[in-house]
Amino acid sequence: MAKITTSQFEKGMFIEFKDEPHQIVEFQHVNPGKGSAFIRTKLKSLKSGKVQEFTYKSGESVEEIPINVFEMQYLYKTGDEFFFMDKGNFEQLAVDKNIVGNFANFIKEGEIYQILIHEDAAVGMRFPKKVRIKVTASDEAVKGNTVSGAKKVVTIETGVQITVPLFIKKGDTIAIDPETGVYLERVGQT
């Protein structure tokens, strides 16, 4: 780890906060009335994903955490762990389900994902804003919802069920926001 001061802060940088790796989501300078300069930050915990505010004294030293981003192929899941492989050296890496989070519903075997690694352990994952996924089974329309257009529930290739507009058919490819699990658009038809 390298010691830096607040003057070296950059958006996206990883630092140690309360003994845990955090990413600087946002930072700005503030001067309280008749007070010294301070740096107000929004820090995202790599472990829990929780974002919190913290105000540093200007010039305060913090530990920067060296984080490496690896492109890895998702292989399989056992228990609470997801296994990924580095295609360069075929080494495998276990990623805890807490790090994968909601994304577990949309992760596909054989696809490449970005894993954030600190001291040989996975501390985070970068998720795409959109995932393209195939509809494998389609049910009937849900009754009653006429205000915003009728909706129905379909099953996608990862086995998860999601709500989509009526016109979606089995075999279509749709785009989903992996963070919220919300249907975005149809991107391919059978």
**Which residues bind to another protein, rule: CB under 8 A?**
18, 28-38, 40, 53-57, 59-62
User: What's 28-71 look like in SS3?
Assistant: EEECCCCCCCEEEEEEEECCCCCEEEEEEECCCEEEECCCEEEE
Cα–Cα distance list, 120 to 95, 96, 99 (Å): 11, 13, 15
Min dist. Cβ of residue 29 to another protein (A): 4
Integer Cα distance of 48 and 41 in angstroms? 17
Min dist. Cβ of residue 21 to another protein (A): 16
Min dist. Cβ of residue 45 to another protein (A): 15
Residue 64 Cα to chain centre, angstroms: 21
Residue 72: count other Cβ atoms within 10 Å of its Cβ: 24
Select 40 or 169, whichever has its Cβ closest to another protein: 40
Name which of 50, 62, 58, 63 is nearest 30 in CA terms: 58
Min dist. Cβ of residue 166 to another protein (A): 35
Select 18 or 143, whichever has its Cβ closest to another protein: 18
Select 56 or 113, whichever has its Cβ closest to another protein: 56
Select 33 or 144, whichever has its Cβ closest to another protein: 33
